[in-house]
Structure 1
Amino acid sequence: MFQLAICAEMVFQDLPFVDRVRKIHDLGFQVEIWDWTRHDLNALARTGARFSSMTGYIEGDLITAAGADALLRTAEQSIEAAGRLGCPRLNLHGTGLDAAGLPVQPIAAASGPMWLAAQRTLTRIAELGQRAGLVFCLENLNTEVDHPGVPFARAADTLALVSAVDSPHLRLNLDLYHAQIGEGNLIELVRRALPYIGEIQVADVPGRCEPGTGEINYPAIARALASAGYRGTIGLEAWASGGSEQALRRFRDAFTVSTEAITNR
């Protein structure tokens, strides 16, 4: 019912990266990657894997003139890389992140002018995506645990920006792990955000491991998504609590929904 993808950065870590991608593909999943500049794109393409998403910029931000120009310039480079892998979606954040996932320029609170600047930058990004035939996805993050200081981090923020731009080439990467930490009420969140979702990412809380290891009732979320008509990509962006193959099985089980389960809701 859903298209299932696995973030190759976080599982099968005992394998070289290209072998991780091949393993995920052999197990029947699509593949997500992060910073494409760290990988051999030719080797990845030769695996035959279907790539679901990758980071869509190298540097830049949404709110400063220089940062927006850098974001657009490196987004164009990312589009070229995505074309080599046949990857349809490119991921964005509220600002550039360092290797530890922290903002290059932390912001305590975004001002009104910052919001307007972010909307203008994302409009330019959407126009770039339209010309290239790709979709950029703005990801929500949590600032309590993993990404303090990131502006426009909450799902409510990313939804406000994406809906304001209102382009099919700018959608949400709705990360439910981050949303649970920052906001909760996940089923209502996915229903509200549904018209703007380009992809959903999942991990459990606490620990950021696969579904079934924490407090989130992912089978219930899966049934709600199916009932609402979502048939898009759901990506596992999680560490394996034990063996990686077991983590992938748990993920697949959580998001396997029968027609009967939808009918009986």
Structure 2
Amino acid sequence: MKRSEFVRNSLLATGAVIGGGLSPAFSKERSIRPEGKPFNLNYGPHQGQFENHAGKNILDQIQFAYDQGFRSIEDNGFSGRSVDEQERIGSLLAKLGMEMGVFVLDKGGNGANTLAAGKQEHVDIFLNGCRQAVELAKRCGGKFTTVVPGDYARNLPVDIQTANVIEALRRGAEILEPHGIVMVLEPLSDTPNLFLRNSAQTYLICKGVNSPSCKILYDIYHMQRNEGDLIPSMERCWDEIAYIQVGDNPGRREPTTGEINYKNVFKYIYDKGYRGVVGMEHGKSQGGKEGELKLIAAYREVDNFMD
């Protein structure tokens, strides 16, 4: 279906109304919408991407996403929610048969709290985050938590920093592995101060940790900026990639707004057998309800790779 046709037809969605926190106005509104077909890949939207249609309530947004055909969500800030809200999110996801994608490990070595420095106080914060992740996963049914090792420790040789990161991650994996939780390491393009920058470096670290609880989060937006050559890069590291996120470049908005051929990339990861969450960690190119329709239409367009 062409994007213009999708927008004219407006929203695809309905299904059984799930209670436990959905606002009455939203429940009434959504009952008139036709059901949305699930996508070929399991795209996971973030809070706020559909708030113009669904409102501010995260449960309404989850229900709306389900109605559009999405079968997962991501919630980077899940650890900062109240226990009650965490449990209500987990309950709704379970009722709808949806998956929780990544949530960020609390204080997992970001910025100045760097695992590369080898300082015990930094490692302790990271390990406390791993223990917390076990409890968070129980509430939402998720099994992936994002870890960023933090900044370079520029007073140390790179190889020493790498050894420090591997040692800390091994200790974290010892906490997570008995519970089937996977910390996914995300190389980023936000600043050159970050220790973890490319897929080959992350691959080496995962091999060094040597645990099913330490794998790669391959964010296609960041990797396009840092290294390009996306499909060969993923192919080289595929056995350590456990999670994928997306965003087009430039701009970090929905697919079709930048230079990345997402239809080809999605066909590649589908043909590789990836059926996990594809996290929609990006903004929108247009505001309001029209921008949300445009986002949904973009995913319908690039998800049409089966022909």
- Using the size of structure 2 for normalisation, the TM-score is 0.73
The aligned counterpart of 2:92 is 47
Provide the rounded CA distance (Å) in 2 between the counterparts of 1:85 and 1:189: 32
Mapping of residues 1-265 of structure 1, within 5 Å: 1-8=40-47, 11-14=49-52, 15-18=55-58, 19-29=60-70, 30-39=72-81, 40-48=85-93, 49-60=98-109, 61-63=114-116, 64-95=119-150, 107=153, 111-142=158-189, 146-242=190-286, 243-258=291-306, 261=307
**Rounded Cα–Cα distance in structure 1 between residues aligned with 2:146 and 2:171:** 15
Instruction: Quickly say closer, same or farther: Cα 1:110–1:149, change in 2 above 3 A.
Output: farther
Identical-residue share of aligned pairs (%): 26
Name the amino acid aligned to 1:47. L
Shift of 1:106: 5.8
CA, structure 1 residues 226+43, in 2 after alignment: closer, same or farther (shift >3 Å)?
closer
The residue type equivalent to 2:296 in the other structure is L
SS at match of 1:239: coil
Opposite residue 295 of structure 2, the aligned amino acid is A
Query: Any stretches of 5+ residues in structure 1 without a counterpart?
Result: 96-104
Q: Compare 206-215 and 16-25 and name the one that shifted more.
A: 16-25
What count of residue pairs does the alignment treat as equivalent?
246
Two-structure CA RMSD over aligned residues (Å): 2.1
Partner of 1:47: helix, strand, or coil? Answer: helix
Letter in 2 for 1:26: D
- When residues 43 and 148 of structure 1 are mapped into structure 2, their CA distance, relative to the original with a 3 A threshold, is farther
Rg larger in 1 or in 2? 2
In structure 2, give the amino acid aligned to 1:237. E
* 1:88 alignment partner AA: K
Deviation for aligned residue 1:46: 4.1
**Do the aligned partners of residues 37 and 52 (structure 1) sit closer, same or farther apart at CA in structure 2, a change above 3 Å counting?**
closer
CA distances 1:210-250 after superposition (whole Å, capped 9, x unpaired)? 11000001111122223333333212111111212321331
Alpha carbons 1:126, 1:167 under 8 Å: kept: yes
Alignment-mate amino acid for residue 4 of structure 1: Y
SS in structure 1 of the partner of residue 45 of structure 2: strand
After superposition, the C-alpha distances for 1:43-82 in whole angstroms (9 at most, x for unaligned) are: 3234335312211233544232211111011221122012
Gaps of 5+ in 2: 1-39
Q: Which consecutive segments of 4 or more residues in structure 1 shift more than 6 A?
A: none
Distance 1:76 1:207 in 2: 35
